[in-house]
Structure 1
Amino acid sequence: MTRLLGFPIADHRRVFIIALPMIISNIAAPLLGLVDTAIIGHLPDAIYLSAVAVGATVIGFIYFLAVFMRMSMTALVAQNFGADDMAAQRHNSINGLFLAALLGVLLILLTPAVLELSWWLMVPAPALQNLASDYISIRLWGAPAALMNLVILGVLLGRQQSRQAMWLVIATNAVNVIVDVWLIVILDWRVQGAAVASAAAEWSSCLLGLFWLRKSLALGWHHLRLNLKQLLVLLRLNGDIFVRSLTLQLCMASMTAYATRYGAIYVAVNAVLMQFLLLISLGLDGIAYAVEALVGQAKGQGRSDRVRHWCRLTLLWSCLFAVAYSLIFIAFGEHIIRLLTDIDSVIDTAGHYLPWLMVLPLIGHWSYYFDGVFIGLAQSRGMRNTMLFAALLGFLPLWWWGQRFENHGLWLALTGFLMMRGVAQAIWLKRHPQTLL
């Protein structure tokens, strides 16, 4: 059998059959988002763009916290797929869709509370608050569909149907852009049009995803019932991953929140440099998706040898991507900063922090990789505990000690946090070898 870097070429191909479509979708979504922003940005007053930006931040935060629905579904379905248990795949999919729809309806009912909490935290000007409130209130009508889309993505990835998952992500953004043009440019609905377009995109993609699930899982009306035993397993997984996601989001948000203490220039600098993390995630997330699906399948088959095989192969690619990112940032980091901003003071100041970004891929890729392993093994408790460990014994102490270095202290805390996550996850797996069985 022909081999490459010590592994069969066919196995490399299997990794990228899953990873490449998700990398493409990760690239396509922001590009389509730029079109979305450009449409709003050409309205006559900047307040409309600001309102959409503020509203999208609130919605994005909520949906980021809900990513546990995608992860838990991938974990369960990948193992069911490996065990060739179609009944379990159906039960978990129905349970996940029910839970997503229920949480989505709850978000609609809690709209006043979401708005009140948002404005307590951000305190925008009254005119901006009114427009952003309209945007958020409309967007939340798409919450059931948006959360069900996360479940659908999880099922597709667990079944290694990453091409369909890619098209689902692209379809969501494409519909959003098309309806944006119609409602904002033609009908002049402005902020309300942007919100309606996003909600419409979420619902249309949800219907497409449900259609694909119905065909893939051969779902019939008689399958639409809950399995309480598996629902409890799903709830436990979701709870653990929610705590993990919330902890991660709070640590990341600190990069902006505490930068305000050092001056507006550092807020702008960190906003620019955090885009480097977005670039890193484009590739590393794709590898992580492959880890989840392949390790989960092998776990479901009861093949510990294949679990270890896929762990080794995907780790190789994670390391290669990390080295490539570091070399790119070393060679072109300053050029990337200039592409993101043309404000001289931000460019000059950001250059002082560029060395952190040059080493960050080499340190941070471990946490991306191990997240994929933990999800594939359905070890949500290990994900939660290692995340809390890294935040409490990594991020917080380094942030506290590094305050004397101001913004460098923040980047030290973030780098140490990512390193601690990878180390803690590796130690946890070493101490729990039975999870690979």
Structure 2
Amino acid sequence: MPLTTGIGRDIRQGRAHDREILRLAVPAFGALVAEPLFLLTDSIIVGHLLDPALGALGVASTGLTALVGLCVFLAYATTAAVARQLGAGDLRQAMRQGVDGMWLAAAIGVVIAVVCWPLAPFIVHVFGATGELAAQAVTFLRVSLLGTPSMLVVLAGTGVLRGLQDTRTPLAVSVGSFVLNGLLNFWFVLGLRWGIAGSAWGTVIAQTLSAAIYLAFVIRSARRHGASLRPDPRGVRAAGAAGFALVIRTACLQIVLLVATSLATRMGEDQIEAHTIAARIWTFLAFSLDAIAIAGQAITGRALGAGDVAATRAATRRMVMWGVASGVVFGAIVLVARPLIPSLFDADALVGDHLMAVLWPVALFQPVAGVVFVLDGVLIGAGDQRYLAWAALASTIVYLPLAALAGGLVALWLALGAWMVARMVTLGARAYGTAWLVTGA
């Protein structure tokens, strides 16, 4: 075969992978950024309240994100499981697993709300919050807990649709929810003057309506493919067991973020407010990069379900390239926008000085984050949860002593950068091998 023919074939295959990645990743990007946009919008609106409202929002939302984040396996494991069954050609079983995931999500959401309501003061105290800061954080957290079942149902429902290679419907739901959240928060916080509680109520209402939409979609699709809507105890237990390693992996990620917030809180009110804003920006960019990872979950699960290892490898290489390029672009955007960011959040001079300093590491580690999120998504799609759990433990062990030695906010964010490098090394070593390329339904 002539060399030019082989090169031309590779170019065509690369373009085909690009089209598939973009078809899934672009709508997924819009859906994923809705959650950090919720937080950014809340921060901007709450930032117009008197201190320490913004700091209280940072503490409470970090605690809530940690609780809900542990359950992100409801989306990730469901995406991988449904995509594998789709690749194997069994849509009935795909929807059966999706329904079981929805039941599991609702049950976990109710348990979290019931257990954590009385523990709200303890949760915010873990972050070092006291006085009025703690009181406002407890208020926000308790109202937000009412929406926990809806949040988890949205996670599971999103996973079902992603597994079916549909990222457009989650985009539509997320855009509608974001608009409604912004309008309600503006009305409740600044119009009705409900304070920080108004911000929580606006988000709870928006998320509840989103959950209702996902339920309607899954019910209709399950009936179309002949899948039962009743919970299958074995299926629910299997969904929980499949996500256990992902819970460990996510718990390690949350420990890193919780430690960072706790240390920033102890540095002072100016530092925690700057850290809160920087964390919002980092989260927004992380969710943006995770759009490619979502494509990785769906593509990898479907390709391995169909037994196509070569396509899995090729798509992985292409997505890593997209991750690095996106990280470079996002980092450049942060550096260009850096002088404008403090005023956007109505930050005072001291908070602005701290924020300007930490935005440097936020920008510089974006290309590393691009590789990390892509490989994380690929291995989740492959069902390689056990390795992901061990890799998360290893990178957390690297981070904790560095964070403990951090003498200021910039050093704390450099420790977070070292954590991302450790994740890139462990995930890259796994992706280079073959142990994760397990085929079949």
TM-score bracket for the superposition, by shorter chain length: 0.7 to 0.9
Q: Partner amino acid for 1:108?
A: A
Is 1:435 the counterpart of 2:437 in the alignment? yes
Is 1:395 the counterpart of 2:399 in the alignment? yes
Alignment of 1:192-211 (within 5 A): 193-211=198-216
Say if 2:48 and 2:346, in contact at 8 Å, map to a contact too: no
Q: Partner amino acid for 1:415?
A: G
Is 1:366 the counterpart of 2:371 in the alignment? yes
Q: 1:413 aligns with which of 398, 412, 415?
A: 415
Partner residue in 2 for 1:77: 82
Say if 1:287 and 1:314, in contact at 8 Å, map to a contact too: yes
Is 1:59 the counterpart of 2:64 in the alignment? yes
How big is the alpha-carbon RMSD for the aligned residues of Structure 1 and Structure 2? 3.4
Deviation of 1:329 after TM superposition, in Å, equals 4.2
Which digits, 9 at most, give the CA deviation of each residue in 1:355-381, with x for residues without a partner?
Answer: 533431232222111111111101111
Partner residue in 1 for 2:20: 14
Structure 2: distance between partners of 1:350 and 1:104: 35
Q: 2:313 aligns with which of 295, 304, 308?
A: 308
Question: Which segments of 5 or more consecutive residues in structure 1 lack a partner in the other structure?
Answer: none
Structure 2: distance between partners of 1:194 and 1:265: 22
Partner residue in 2 for 1:23: 29
Question: Which 10-residue stretch deviates more, 376-385 or 90-99?
Answer: 90-99
Say if 1:55 and 1:136, in contact at 8 Å, map to a contact too: yes
Is 1:103 the counterpart of 2:108 in the alignment? yes
Question: Which segments of 5 or more consecutive residues in structure 2 lack a partner in the other structure?
Answer: none
Structure 1: distance between partners of 2:357 and 2:128: 32
Deviation of 1:385 after TM superposition, in Å, equals 0.6
Structure 2: distance between partners of 1:278 and 1:339: 17
Deviation of 1:141 after TM superposition, in Å, equals 2.8
Structure 2: distance between partners of 1:195 and 1:270: 21
Q: Partner amino acid for 2:288?
A: G
Say if 2:180 and 2:206, in contact at 8 Å, map to a contact too: yes
Structure 1: distance between partners of 2:85 and 2:227: 20
Which digits, 9 at most, give the CA deviation of each residue in 1:256-305, with x for residues without a partner?
Answer: 32245555554444444434423432431111111111111101111111
Structure 1: distance between partners of 2:269 and 2:61: 22
Alignment of 1:231-242 (within 5 A): 231-242=236-247
Say if 1:3 and 1:9, in contact at 8 Å, map to a contact too: no
Deviation of 1:95 after TM superposition, in Å, equals 1.3
Say if 1:7 and 1:313, in contact at 8 Å, map to a contact too: no
Structure 2: distance between partners of 1:52 and 1:92: 36
Structure 2: distance between partners of 1:331 and 1:216: 45
Question: Which 10-residue stretch deviates more, 158-167 or 184-193?
Answer: 184-193
Number of residue pairs aligned between Structure 1 and Structure 2 = 433
TM-score by length of 1: 0.85
Say if 2:33 and 2:288, in contact at 8 Å, map to a contact too: no
Q: Partner amino acid for 1:322?
A: G
Is 1:423 the counterpart of 2:425 in the alignment? yes
Deviation of 1:307 after TM superposition, in Å, equals 0.8
Question: Which 10-residue stretch deviates more, 111-120 or 339-348?
Answer: 339-348
Partner residue in 2 for 1:166: 171
Deviation of 1:431 after TM superposition, in Å, equals 4.5
Q: Partner amino acid for 1:428?
A: R
Alignment of 1:24-423 (within 5 A): 24-31=30-37, 55-122=60-127, 132-180=137-185, 193-218=198-223, 223-260=228-265, 264-336=269-341, 339-340=344-345, 342-392=347-397, 394-399=398-403, 402-403=405-406, 406-423=408-425
Identity of aligned residues (%): 24
Structure 2: distance between partners of 1:53 and 1:268: 7
